[in-house]
């Protein structure tokens, strides 16, 4: 089963998200998880998920959107999480790359998102940039499980996350020329612990880097992983599909 476990197919990014979704299914994608990153995008992800059998939603407030977050927003996310097509709390996490000025606010919102996940017994889809120590600590405290989206860490960190029950999210970056570190991680860990993703509209795989990404391109990620691990493309598709479908109850 070919699954794009992380994308943002939303009207803020595309003129016609429905067209993007239908095209992905026509091109062999079986299931898509659309991730919100704030209240508006989370609402739209749920709406789209309810329109298609094989589209699911993750709802949450991400680290870049924490400044305006009030208690009502947290409550609304919690209500959205009760929708039957919501399979995860995401995209949530910490990002100290651009600024760590909002560090405390980010941690506060992340903790509240992890609490919702725990209450609703949902896995999480986590964004981490330059914040590995804090992210791991908070995930462990919350006993959370799910996907570490767009993994960019070391093999040791990947193995630690796998022990905690996380899948390692691998997307278009693995096809880039400078992806040595990620290539090594992919070679070192089992295919059963990897989830495929696009992060559309971002991080378009080669040879389309520089153009707008969409979930149909997840096949290019599967092909690259197959060649790196010396296994068949169908094995990558089947095993990552089983891993994601069982983790998120798809
Ligand atoms: Ni994302």
| 233 Cα–ligand 1 center, Å | 24
d(CA 209, CA 175): 9
- Mean pLDDT in residue range 84-111: 93
Cβ atoms of residues 215 and 200 within 8 Å: yes
Q: Taking ligand 1, which is a single-atom ion, which protein residues have CB atoms under 5 Å away?
A: 91, 199
Reported as a pLDDT band with limits 50, 70 and 90, residue 168 is very high
| 91 Cα–ligand 1 center, Å | 6
| 5 Cα–ligand 1 center, Å | 10
Reported as a pLDDT band with limits 50, 70 and 90, residue 211 is very high
pLDDT for 98 equals 81
- Mean pLDDT in residue range 101-124: 96
Q: Is the pLDDT of residue 150 over 80?
A: yes
Q: Is the pLDDT of residue 100 over 80?
A: no
pLDDT for 64 equals 86
| 188 Cα–ligand 1 center, Å | 24
d(CA 5, CA 168): 11
| 62 Cα–ligand 1 center, Å | 9
Residue with token string 């803020």: 12
pLDDT for 18 equals 98
pLDDT in tens, 49-84: 999 999 999 999 999 888 778 899 999 999 999 999
| DSSP codes, the chain | --EEEEE--STTT-S-HHHHHHHHHHTT--EEEEEPSSHHHHHHHHHHHTT-TTEEEEE---GGG-TT--HHHHHHHHHHTTSTTEEEEEEEEEE-SS-STTHHHHHHHHHHHHHHHHHHT--EEEEEES-HHHHHHHHHHHT--EEETT--S-HHHHHHHHHTT-EEEE-GGGGSTT-HHHHHHHHHS-GGGEEE---TTSSPPTTSBTB---GGGHHHHHHHHHHHHT--HHHHHHHHHHHHHHHHT-
| 35 Cα–ligand 1 center, Å | 7
Reported as a pLDDT band with limits 50, 70 and 90, residue 147 is very high
| 242 Cα–ligand 1 center, Å | 22
- Domains of the chain: residue spans and CATH: 3-248 (3.20.20.140)
| 163 Cα–ligand 1 center, Å | 23
pLDDT for 215 equals 98
pLDDT in tens, 221-236: 999 999 999 999 999 9
Of 98 and 135, which is predicted with more confidence? 135
């Amino acid at each position: 089963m070919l699954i794009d476990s992380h994308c943002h197919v939303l009207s803020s990014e595309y003129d016609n998200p429905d067209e993007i979704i239908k095209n992905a299914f026509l091109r062999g994608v079986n299931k898509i998880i659309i991730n919100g990153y704030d209240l508006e995008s989370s609402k739209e992800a749920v709406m789209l998920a309810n329109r298609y059998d094989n589209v699911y939603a993750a709802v949450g407030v991400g680290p870049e959107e924490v400044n305006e977050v009030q208690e009502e927003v947290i409550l609304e996310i919690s209500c959205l999480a009760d929708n039957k097509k919501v399979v995860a709390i995401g995209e949530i996490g910490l990002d100290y790359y651009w600024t760590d000025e909002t560090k405390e606010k980010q941690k506060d919102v992340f903790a509240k998102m992890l609490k919702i996940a725990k209450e609703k017994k949902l896995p999480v889809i986590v964004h981490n940039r330059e914040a590995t120590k804090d992210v791991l600590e908070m995930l462990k405290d919350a006993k959370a499980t799910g996907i570490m989206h767009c993994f960019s860490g070391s093999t040791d960190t990947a193995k630690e996350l796998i022990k905690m029950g996380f899948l390692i999210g691998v997307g278009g970056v693995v096809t880039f020329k400078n992806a040595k570190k990620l290539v090594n991680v992919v070679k070192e860990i089992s295919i059963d612990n990897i989830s495929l993703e696009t992060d559309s509209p971002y991080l378009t795989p080669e040879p389309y880097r520089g153009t707008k990404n969409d979930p149909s391109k997840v096949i290019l990620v599967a092909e690259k992983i197959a060649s790196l691990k010396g296994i068949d493309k169908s094995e990558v598709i089947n095993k990552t599909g089983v891993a994601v479908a069982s983790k998120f109850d798809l």
